[in-house]
Amino acid sequence: MLSYSTDKPLLILLRSLARLIDLILLYWGFGLFYSWINRNNSMAYDRLFNGIQEMGYYLPICMLYVPIMESITKGFTVGKFICRIKVRKFLGLDITPKEAFLRWTGGVLDFVCTLGLAAIISAIISEKTQRLGDRLAKTIVERV
């Protein structure tokens, strides 16, 4: 179990690192996706329109990566697994797809609207390093 008073800065750092790893993975995945889409494209085309169109194909994957991974793996994403942290309910139980979706809803507000600043401030202020999504879903992130 995590001692929140002594490990709080470490947990915030691990959560940030896990998020960065997931974003790098998604960026790399988009590069592969983009290369695959354009593999047979040898003639000139409107690059801006095609780029926007291709982002439209890939954006749902990026948006749903976290809730789907956390639902399937019971609290992990690739970044969380590498950093050895896991999302759990308060009583130590595994999260359900409902909690994963609620965390994602809060994550949209935490990360998209404030570029992550709200998530960091919320985790620092919270006794158990919870961000808005964790509070909505009544979950915590712990070291494993």
Over residues 13-34, the pLDDT tens digits come to 999 999 999 999 998 988 887 7
Rounded Cα distance between 120 and 13, Å, is 10
Q: How many domains does the chain have?
A: 1
Residues shown for the chain = 144
How confident is the prediction for the chain on average, in pLDDT? Answer: 86
Per-residue pLDDT at 46: 60
Rounded Cα distance between 74 and 56, Å, is 28
pLDDT at 43 over 80: no
| Domain encompassing residue 127 | 4-143
The gap between the terminal CA atoms of the chain, to the nearest Å, is: 8
Per-residue pLDDT at 30: 82
Those residues whose C-beta lies under 8 Å from the C-beta of residue 112, and which sit 6 or more positions away, are: none
Rounded Cα distance between 36 and 16, Å, is 30
User: What's the CA dihedral at 5, 124, 79, 56 to 10 degrees?
Assistant: 160
- Angstrom CA distances, 95 to 24, 37, 110, 112, stand at 25, 35, 20, 23
Here the tokens at position 11 are 């947990």
Contact 122, 131 (CB under 8 A): yes
Over residues 101-135, the pLDDT tens digits come to 999 998 888 888 888 888 889 999 998 999 999 99
Over residues 51-80, the pLDDT tens digits come to 677 778 778 888 899 999 999 999 999 999
Per-residue pLDDT at 87: 96
